[in-house]
Structures are given as C-alpha cells and as structure tokens.
Chains A and B, each alone.
Chain A
Amino acid sequence: GQQVMQIPQYQHVQEGEDFTTYCNSSTTLSNIQWYKQRPGGHPVFLIQLVKSGEVKKQKRLTFQFGEAKKNSSLHITATQTTDVGTYFCAASGAGGTSYGKLTFGQGTILTVHP
C-alpha cells in the first residue's frame, strides 16, 4: 500500500531557530495535507496542497508541494514555544484505489526551548 515517509522523527530547537519537516512518497500524490497535534490534543488541519510546485504561506509557516507531487515540506521561521507539537503530513494517492483515504506520515515531534 501507499506509504508516506516523514523526517525527522524528532526536532529540538531553540526559540527563534527555524524548523523544517519533510514528507516523501514513492507514488504520485493527488494532494497532501498538513496537520498539527498539540501535546494532549487532537490533530488539527493546517493546509492542503493540490498543485504541482505549489507554495502556500501561513504567517511563519511555509508549505511546499514538489514538482513531481511526491514530496512536501513544512518550514517554520523563527519558532516560538507555541509551535510545539507533532506535525503530520497526510496524503491522498493518485488513482481511485486511494479515494477518500488519507495516509499519515509518522509525524515530526517539535520541541522548542525558550
């Protein structure tokens, strides 16, 4: 089945440093989503990317979808303590067999030291 690999598994940064997590698939994706889960909370939808090479920004967060639609990244500029949590990518594969089914990456756990 479709697999989505996400790296790194853990990232510890000092407040103010940048952070990036990467998501890779061996198959072409129809779209990719990013979710954030705060400690003790539930995943919350951040954004969806659909187009090849798409770049979207939300304040200090920049999301990219690769040209081949097989990889994506989330970059946070100047991290803050409020950024702590686990960031997941979730992908829908191209083709009908993956219709409606999102496969989540393993997540990157971000800790920010003040």
Chain B
Amino acid sequence: DSGVTQTPKHLITATGQRVTLRCSPRSGDLSVYWYQQSLDQGLQFLIQYYNGEERAKGNILERFSAQQFPDLHSELNLSSLELGDSALYFCASSDGTGNPTNEKLFFGSGTQLSVL
C-alpha cells in the first residue's frame, strides 16, 4: 500500500459526459501529480500541484482541469469526454520539497476510465 488513495477505481461513462477523479496523497506529501496511462502512450504526465498551487503542466488537454485543495487532496476533472480518453489515470504524490533525493513518486492504484 503506497498510502495514496484514488477513487473511484473504475468509472464507466458515455461520450460528452464529465467526470471527477479524486486523489488523497500520502500523509505529509505536498505534491500531487496526475498521469494518464494508455496502451500506446505509456505514462503521460498531465499536471502537478504543490501545496495548492499548479507547479508544472504536461500534455493536459483543455477539456481537463485539476486542482489541489487546502487539505492537499486533488481532483482531476475530465469534460466533454471522448472515446480516446479511455485510459488508466494515476495520481502520485511526493513530499515536493525539491530535494532530489525526495522526488520519488508514490502512485495510487489508479482509476480505470472507460468512455463508451
């Protein structure tokens, strides 16, 4: 158990819909990362938050947004869903202090999103 909690584990929805994925980081970790994993794209970095503020942005679509709340949990919002958005979405956390020895990520179990 990594200590990172993601809900829900599975999500089935239809094209055009909007969903919210939730992540609670490990106790004490300030950084939350979101990654998308699909069969043909590997692990794609979407976005990172540190202590409530956006720190880095990757290949995140405009239809997707995220935020980190004061209690450090994070939500990833996916809207106007398309078939191609079907993937495994991982949240990871780290203490985010910037010390290279502490940048290792602890991943949650992921949310499997299926868009039908």
- A residues with a Cβ closer than 8 A to B are 30-31, 33, 35, 41-45, 48, 50, 88, 90, 92, 99-107
Contacts and interface: CB of A to CB of B under 8 A. Distances in A.
What are the nearest 3 A-B pairs in CB distance?
A: A104-B43, A42-B107, A101-B56
Interface residues of B, number: 26
Contacts of A50: 100-101
B48 A45 contact: no
A100 B33 CA distance: 10
A78 B63 CA distance: 46
16 contacts: A43-B43, A43-B105, A44-B107, A45-B106, A90-B105, A99-B56, A99-B98, A100-B48, A100-B50, A100-B55, A100-B98, A100-B103, A102-B105, A104-B42, A105-B42, A107-B43
A20 B31 CA distance: 32
